Amino acid sequence: MKLQLMCLDGEGGLWFKWGLLTWGELHMHRTLMSGPIWVSYAQIYVESSGDFSSMEECFAGQRNGLCGAAVAGRLFLLTGLHSGQVAFAVELYDDEPAIDDSWEEIVEASYRPLGDAVLVEWGGGPGAWELDLQPQVDYRVRYCGSGMDAAHQHGQPEGEPPVDHYVLQFWPAPPAPDRVVKVTSRQAAYSHESVRTAPPPPTAEQKARAAEELKRIEEMNGQVTVLPAWGGSLLGVREIWQANDLARLDGPLLEALERADEDTQYAVARWSARRACRAAGLEEIAWIAAALDGMDRGLAVHDAFHPPPGAFGDGPYAVATTGDWDPARSGPVQAMLVIRTAGLDDPLAAAVGSLWLAIGATGNDLALVDELRQAFPELRSPAS
C-alpha cells in the first residue's frame, strides 16, 4: 500500500514519508542518537557497568565478529575505519523491525544492560551518549553497516563526510544465539572468520588464579597503591594511574602539577606529548606533527588527529596499556596513546599521564623534568 506517514519527532517537529511501506516499517521506534562519532582502533562500545572486558572475551564463542555480546552488559562494536569519524545511529523499537537489505553488513546478538547503557568511545574519549534502554531487560540488537572496505582501505578524506555508516537497532526479545544475516565486505568476512577460529578465552577459574598471582607479585614488588605512601598532602592525584610512579620520581613536581590551574595542566600535557614524540623520532611524521600542532592551536584531539589509512597496520585489534611507554610497540601506536592521553577530559590526568609517557620515551632521562621546570616556572619548588 502507498501511504503518507506523518510523524512527530522527539522535538515536536513534523516530517512526512512517502512510499511503499511494509507493516514492519510501521513498528514504532525512537532514534536514541544519530550523527558522526569518533572511533579508534576500529572500535566503539555500549557499556552498562564499570567492568573492563577484553576484545577476546566479548567475542568468545560467537558466530559474528562485528558485534561482541558475549560479556553481560557490554557490546564491543567494530567498524571499517581505523581512526576518525563514522556515521552512526542507535534506534529503539517496540518490536522486531524488518531487515533493511540495503545495508551491506548485518549481524544480530542478544543484549541485557546491567545498568544505564551508554555508547562510548575507545579509551574513555569525550564522546558518550546515554541510551534509553531499561536495565535488566533482554533486548535483541541488530548491527548494520556499509562502506567498511572503502573506509578501511582509504580512510576518511579530511573535510569530507564519513565513508562508513552504521545503525544499532534494539528491541525487546528473549535471549538467542548471535547470527550473521548478511556479509558483503572483506573486512567483515575477516572479522567473522577471526572470532570463529579464535582459541577459547580463559575460564573464570583461570582468570581468578591469574588475578591472585598478579596481586601476589605486586605486593612483593611494593606496587600495590597505598594511599598515604608517597607522602603528599593532596588527594586527587592518587586516583591517576601514574601518580605514584611520578611521586616516587619527583614528589614536589606532582604536588605542583595538582596545584596548577587547568590551562597549565593541559599545556604540560601538550608539551609532554610533543617531547615524547620527538624523543621517539615521531615528530617529523606529517600526520603526527599535524596532530601536535593542532592541539597547540587549541583543537580537540578528535579534530587534530587524522592518521592516514594503514598507519596502524591491517585488521582490527585491541590495545592494552599500563600507562608506560612501551618501546616494543610501533611508533604510530605510541604516538596515538600519548596524543590521546594529552587530550583526556581530566586535565591533571592528561598532564601526569603524558609526562610519564614522555619520561619513558626518553629512556627515563631525568633531564626532561628539568626542561619541564624551565618551560613552566610555576612548577618549580620554592627552594629552586
The gap from C-alpha 283 to its chain's centroid, in whole angstroms, comes to 24
- In 3D space, the residue among 216, 245, 220 whose CA is nearest the CA of residue 230 turns out to be 245
Do 253 and 246 form a contact (C-beta atoms < 8 A)?
Answer: yes
Q: Is 322 a member of any domain? A: yes
Final residue belonging to a domain, choices 170, 202, 234: 202
- Note the pLDDT tens digit of each residue in 163-206: 999 999 999 999 999 999 999 999 999 999 988 887 766 667 77
Mean pLDDT, consecutive 10-residue stretches, the chain (384 aa), reads: 39 39 58 91 89 84 94 95 92 96 97 94 74 95 96 85 95 96 94 83 70 60 40 47 76 88 94 94 91 91 81 58 75 88 90 91 85 90 58
Question: Is residue 191 domain-shared with residue 231, that is, in the same domain?
Answer: no
Whole-angstrom distance, CA of residue 309 vs CA of residue 259: 41
- In 3D space, the residue among 106, 109, 127, 104 whose CA is nearest the CA of residue 68 turns out to be 109
Do 316 and 41 form a contact (C-beta atoms < 8 A)?
Answer: yes
Question: Is residue 134 domain-shared with residue 278, that is, in the same domain?
Answer: no
Range of the domain at 343: 225-379
Question: Is residue 188 domain-shared with residue 301, that is, in the same domain?
Answer: no
Question: Is residue 239 domain-shared with residue 370, that is, in the same domain?
Answer: yes
Cell 614524540, located at residue: 277
Confidence (pLDDT) at 214: 61
**Which neighbouring-strand residues pair with 17?**
5
Question: Is residue 56 domain-shared with residue 181, that is, in the same domain?
Answer: yes
- Domain containing residue 58: CATH number: 2.60.34.30
Final residue belonging to a domain, choices 155, 171, 202: 202
Question: Is residue 189 domain-shared with residue 271, that is, in the same domain?
Answer: no
Q: Over the Cα atoms of the chain, what is R_g?
A: 23
Question: Is residue 182 domain-shared with residue 249, that is, in the same domain?
Answer: no
HSE of 241, CA atoms in CB hemisphere, 13 A: 14
Question: Is residue 41 domain-shared with residue 112, that is, in the same domain?
Answer: yes
Tell me the three cell numbers of residue 205: 577459574
Q: Is 220 a member of any domain? A: no
Question: Is residue 90 domain-shared with residue 126, that is, in the same domain?
Answer: yes
Q: Is 245 a member of any domain? A: yes
Tally of structural domains, the chain:
2
Sequence-distant (≥ 6) Cβ neighbours of residue 216 within 8 angstroms: none
Whole-angstrom distance, CA of residue 364 vs CA of residue 339: 19
Torsion of CA 286, 148, 303, 311, to 10 degrees: -20
**Which neighbouring-strand residues pair with 36?**
87
Q: Is 20 a member of any domain? A: no
Question: Is residue 102 domain-shared with residue 197, that is, in the same domain?
Answer: yes
Q: Is 22 a member of any domain? A: no
Tell me the three cell numbers of residue 329: 610497540
Confidence (pLDDT) at 254: 86
pTM above 0.75, yes or no: no
Whole-angstrom distance, CA of residue 320 vs CA of residue 52: 11
Q: Is 367 a member of any domain? A: yes
Question: Is residue 125 domain-shared with residue 88, that is, in the same domain?
Answer: yes
Q: Is 344 a member of any domain? A: yes
Q: Is 6 a member of any domain? A: no
Question: Is residue 240 domain-shared with residue 169, that is, in the same domain?
Answer: no
Tell me the three cell numbers of residue 48: 552498562
